[in-house]
Structure 1
Amino acid sequence: MSGFTSISLILSGAFSNSEIIAEFGLLPPAFLPLGVGRLYDIQVQALRDSIQDAEPLYLTVPESFEVPAHDRRCLANKGVSLLSVPDGLSLGESLVYAINVVNAYAGGVRLLYGDTQIGTIPSGFDVVAGHIEGDDYSWAAINHKNDEIVSLETIEAANEMDLDRPVACGYFAFSSGAEIVRMVSQARGDFIKGLNLYNRHLPLTLSWVDEWYDFGHLQTYFRSRRVVTTARVFNNLQITHNTVCKRSADTFKMSAEAEWFENVPPSVQPYTARLLEKHVDGPSASYTTEYQYAPNLAEIYVFGQIGRATWKKILASSIEFLEICTKTVGEAPREKYSRELMGKKSFGRLEQFARESGFDIERELTYKNRPTPSLLSIAYELERLIPISHEEPCTLIHGDFCFSNILYNSRNDRISVIDPRGYVFSGEREIYGDFRYDLAKYSHSVDGLYDFILAGRYDLTQRNAYDFELNFDVSPQRQWLQDSFADVTIAGASASGTDIRAIMISLFISMLPLHADRPDRQKAFIANALRLFTQMKG
């Protein structure tokens, strides 16, 4: 503490409640998924924006929580020190423990709840952030007079008498670490009682905040998550309490996606988002689906800690969806779609990537000190490994059946798909194709770890532009899922079959030009294609 007058604490020393654990597994609230990161990413940024860069910032976690190696590195890079606190402590006890461990008695202490984010961190000390609207959960109501806090009072649920009182929304700043420790200890670890005692010695001021995002309960988590939902640049998402409106200048594509929802048979509809309306408004088109309060599989796979029992249900529901799709047969032979999906696209996009990036796609590469063919040679070999059937009929496909487009509802143990590709063949919109593509897209997430790359959760090493080594954190649960998925067979196609793996690897090659704005991600895709190709070759 030498040289510093204050510290900042994100208190996340207890696990989330049972509702959230059912969705994501045993996680402290600051580690809940948010976009392609965790809640602590925006919490740390908000605190850094409001304090001096040199001020120490600590994040508490339960002692029994094993922080993933990638998160340890990420937090260290952000200048955040982890503090493990004994399991079972109350909020007040956890605060006292943390201040004692870091010896933060002499200066101020800023405190942010681990399940909370507010738009702008209030300045100054001896302030309590307040917001006028609460929910039907237990809050600390603030009794005040002209923004001078009289007292704080725990209420079990919002009622008409409490609607006019602001609630403490998870940020506090104390000018004296020693005094808050003394008062909370005197209150036997009760944080709110300790605050009231502190207020008698060092008066607290109410600081009003407009933006308050609560991630402490399942309903408030999904509601708060909406504000940070990400979309690619060619999409514009408008999300309300009940709906998701997707809009794009690509009117043909938007119409194709909407028509996919309209045209899938009744047997498939329980596994899809519910289409509410569609519009073509001059230069743009849009469609609206019902907003679902459920996580997508990418969030669960990359950031969650759910057990095998839940993954078995997810995998079973995914298989059910794919099997139903294969029973919805079109009139044209599968061959018509196979070549379009798996041949022409890869080579055209690979050439585009070479033109735009200057990467030599004909130069031999190295992966983990092992020579490999060039990207172009790999693409040709992958194409030869994908048999094209002249007799099999086409079937219904989603077209982008990857984890980020698959939601899981733990209440009914069923997946729900969003953002279908709405494939266009020969200028016509289609719901049919080669079902192996959907199976390969699923493998793209399970085995290809696509979502880990999007989240930046990988380590890439290069000695030169054509030499790669890629590593991911080890996870027993991930290995178990990959082994279980390898045993899956859909309509005679094995998830671990050479053709499915070849299609899956080709996806990483074909998407290279789509990420021209992220050269770091393009390098990871190349390295991942090499990783998977060398695994397949043995």
Structure 2
Amino acid sequence: MSNMIDVVVLAAGSIKQKLYLARYGFDCPALLPINVTAISCYIFDFYLQTKNVRIHLAVDEKHLDAVKKEFCYYEDKVSYISVPPAEGVIETLKTVVRKLSMQKEVKDIIVNLVTTIPVEFPEKNEVFISEKLQKNNNWSSVILRTDSVDFCFKNTPCEERGYAFTGVFRTNKTDLCKAMEDKKLFANDLLSVIRGLGSNTNILFKKTHWLDCGHESNYYETKMDLVTSRSFNHIRIDRTAGIITKSSKNTDKFKNEINYVHMLPKELAVFYPRILSEVRTNNDFTHVDMEYYGYPTVSEYMLFWQLNDDGWQRLFEALEFILNLQKKHKYSISHKAFQGFYYNKCLTRISDFEKQLPEKYQQLLKAQRLNINGQEYQNFRVLESRISEKLDRLYNEDDFCIMHGDFCFNNMLYDLNSGVMRLIDARGSFGEQCIGIYGDFKYDIAKLAHSVIGYYDYIVNYKFYLRQLSDTKFVYSINLRPWQDFLCQQTNSLIKQQGYNPDDILFLAGLIFVSICPLHSDNTEKQVMIYLKGIQLLNDFVGS
């Protein structure tokens, strides 16, 4: 197709050359984590919003297999170009353009350094520069004068302030190849290509918000810029004061979560960020200011960090300590409320999920049986009565106490150096009839199990491959980390230490999986993957 735009994402080299303090389990820049998402995924998702775009990720030959495995979800959406070791980014770009031209007709090209997350789509001959005017010799920049442009290349002394070059530009192949023939190119500075383009083409420098992850100072700012929460519509962080402002249109849910923190006893309140302002409402939004902790989530550690066993054991000891404190504060909840929270809520959620499913997946909930990875499983409707009966057996007055309500890895902030842990985004209710801090202790442990043993964090962050072979037949794989078995062992040990049978907790985790499907309506494949995982767990443990 002649109107196709080829997006070249340059991701050769090493993370360690850019982020010296990082302790990540990967070396390839394409896998650089921004919170719980690899940076390339932000770039892929941005460009995939536009039609007639082909995305090509260029990585070192030695990283190709790991990258393909990590981005299995994007298998039919992104192509990969392996490049040999190079002197710099320009040699890599030359290799990529040459290989692309051998495969297909290439005319319109967008070049995007993997360390920049785009926020707007470039028009033809546009070069994106930062909107901030600043002086820094660690990156390339341009000085815009009335009738000319001066180029300041990185690591070259420049006394004037300039606009940083973001590493994103759009041109055509002919002009790009001509610019790369310039004998004055700096091997590792893409800005010298822009200078070459400017001598043959009318390029336009456009100021934009620069989400930069290629420099240590900017990387951590970008991580804060991209902090999100499914519970809130908007989040703003005051970096200097350490304050996070959360806003939501779901006023009742928001107030429940805030009241939850107010109701906690002091010994547990210390594990939650302090509330620094009263809840206030304007323009249909409810706002609150809270203490901000810049610690990584435990999800990020699991998905990207290379921790030793001692580090993980220390973390699980912190979880056990918090859970033991919660158990000390007993409560009473009726059997009806218990069934309503687990069973009735699940039925309602599945009904909601069914309405969201496109025609392609209509049999997912209607069929009696599903074939998942070559094995037959009974569907939820077939299991309903057995699920209700097992819930009856699991009701226990002694299990009701303070609970978080969403005790999974993405709601746990942990500082590896100090061992300090903070919990965020508590549920604030055990169903509509039990607003407050109390609930079923087993639910918190099941939430933890669904994170670790159920691979929830992998699924919601697209570390899976899923294919539908027929209306009721599916195959999937999940790209688990080498340390996952150890984390599962730690989780099973914690479950037993708390006095529970892991089979019962994993049954509840399966119920959680099928009930959260409608909450992930942003992506149908993800919903289906969550449902299939839930069905597997329910089949495995409903009878135990």
TM class, shorter-chain normalised? 0.7 to 0.9
Corresponding position of 2:209: 211
Corresponding position of 1:111: 111
Corresponding position of 1:278: 278
Corresponding position of 1:442: 448
Moved more, 349-358 or 518-527: 349-358
Distance (whole Å) between structure 2 residues aligned to residue 341 and residue 191 of structure 1:
58
Distance (whole Å) between structure 2 residues aligned to residue 21 and residue 38 of structure 1:
17
Corresponding position of 2:40: 40
SS in 1 for 2:277: strand
Distance (whole Å) between structure 2 residues aligned to residue 441 and residue 417 of structure 1:
14
Task: Provide closer, same or farther for how the CA distance between residues 74 and 489 of structure 1 changes in structure 2, counting only shifts above 3 A.
Answer: closer
Q: How does 1:439-478 map to 2 (within 5 A)?
A: 439-462=445-468, 464-478=470-484
Corresponding position of 2:411: 405
Q: Do 2:72 and 2:465's aligned partners in 1 also have CA atoms closer than 8 Å?
A: no
Corresponding position of 1:9: 8
Q: Do 1:296 and 1:407's aligned partners in 2 also have CA atoms closer than 8 Å?
A: yes
Corresponding position of 1:486: 492
Distance (whole Å) between structure 1 residues aligned to residue 451 and residue 247 of structure 2:
26
Task: Provide closer, same or farther for how the CA distance between residues 423 and 23 of structure 1 changes in structure 2, counting only shifts above 3 A.
Answer: farther
Corresponding position of 1:287: 288
Q: Do 1:362 and 1:377's aligned partners in 2 also have CA atoms closer than 8 Å?
A: no
Q: Number of residue pairs matched?
A: 525
SS in 2 for 1:324: helix
Distance (whole Å) between structure 2 residues aligned to residue 253 and residue 236 of structure 1:
12
The amino acid across from 1:129 in the alignment is I
2:167 is the counterpart of 1:170: yes
Residue 431 of structure 1 is aligned with which of 430, 434, 437?
A: 437
SS in 2 for 1:315: helix
1:258 deviation in Å? 0.5
2:379 is the counterpart of 1:378: no
The amino acid across from 2:152 in the alignment is L
2:508 is the counterpart of 1:508: no
SS in 2 for 1:10: strand
The amino acid across from 2:255 in the alignment is S
Corresponding position of 1:498: 503
Name the TM-score, length of structure 1 as normaliser. 0.79
Corresponding position of 2:132: 132
Q: How does 1:69-468 map to 2 (within 5 A)?
A: 69-86=68-85, 89-92=87-90, 94-95=92-93, 98=96, 110-125=110-125, 129-134=129-134, 138-146=138-146, 148-154=148-154, 162=160, 164-172=161-169, 175-177=175-177, 179-180=179-180, 183=183, 187=186, 189-191=187-189, 198=196, 207-217=205-215, 220-232=218-230, 235-242=232-239, 243-281=243-281, 285-302=286-303, 304-309=304-309, 310-327=311-328, 329-332=329-332, 338-350=338-350, 364-368=368-372, 369-386=374-391, 387-388=393-394, 390=396, 392=398, 394-424=400-430, 427=433, 429-462=435-468, 464-468=470-474
Task: Provide closer, same or farther for how the CA distance between residues 502 and 246 of structure 1 changes in structure 2, counting only shifts above 3 A.
Answer: same
Identity over aligned residues, as a percent?
18
Residue 526 of structure 1 is aligned with which of 524, 527, 531?
A: 531
The amino acid across from 2:8 in the alignment is L
Name the TM-score, length of structure 2 as normaliser. 0.78
Distance (whole Å) between structure 2 residues aligned to residue 360 and residue 366 of structure 1:
8
SS in 2 for 1:111: strand
1:422 deviation in Å? 0.2
1:423 deviation in Å? 0.8
Q: Do 2:496 and 2:502's aligned partners in 1 also have CA atoms closer than 8 Å?
A: no
Task: Provide closer, same or farther for how the CA distance between residues 35 and 377 of structure 1 changes in structure 2, counting only shifts above 3 A.
Answer: farther
Moved more, 523-532 or 68-77: 68-77
Distance (whole Å) between structure 2 residues aligned to residue 522 and residue 377 of structure 1:
20
Moved more, 72-81 or 404-413: 72-81
Moved more, 314-323 or 445-454: 314-323
Distance (whole Å) between structure 1 residues aligned to residue 216 and residue 429 of structure 2:
35
The amino acid across from 2:219 in the alignment is Y
Distance (whole Å) between structure 1 residues aligned to residue 469 and residue 275 of structure 2:
49
SS in 2 for 1:441: helix
What RMSD in Å do the two structures reach over aligned CA positions? Answer: 4.4
Distance (whole Å) between structure 2 residues aligned to residue 474 and residue 146 of structure 1:
54
Distance (whole Å) between structure 1 residues aligned to residue 208 and residue 319 of structure 2:
41
Distance (whole Å) between structure 2 residues aligned to residue 6 and residue 430 of structure 1:
53
Task: Provide closer, same or farther for how the CA distance between residues 430 and 23 of structure 1 changes in structure 2, counting only shifts above 3 A.
Answer: farther
Distance (whole Å) between structure 2 residues aligned to residue 122 and residue 461 of structure 1:
33
The amino acid across from 1:216 in the alignment is G
Q: Do 1:131 and 1:166's aligned partners in 2 also have CA atoms closer than 8 Å?
A: yes
1:295 deviation in Å? 3.4
List gaps (5 residues or longer) in structure 1.
Answer: none
Q: Do 1:237 and 1:244's aligned partners in 2 also have CA atoms closer than 8 Å?
A: no
List gaps (5 residues or longer) in structure 2.
Answer: none
SS in 1 for 2:8: strand
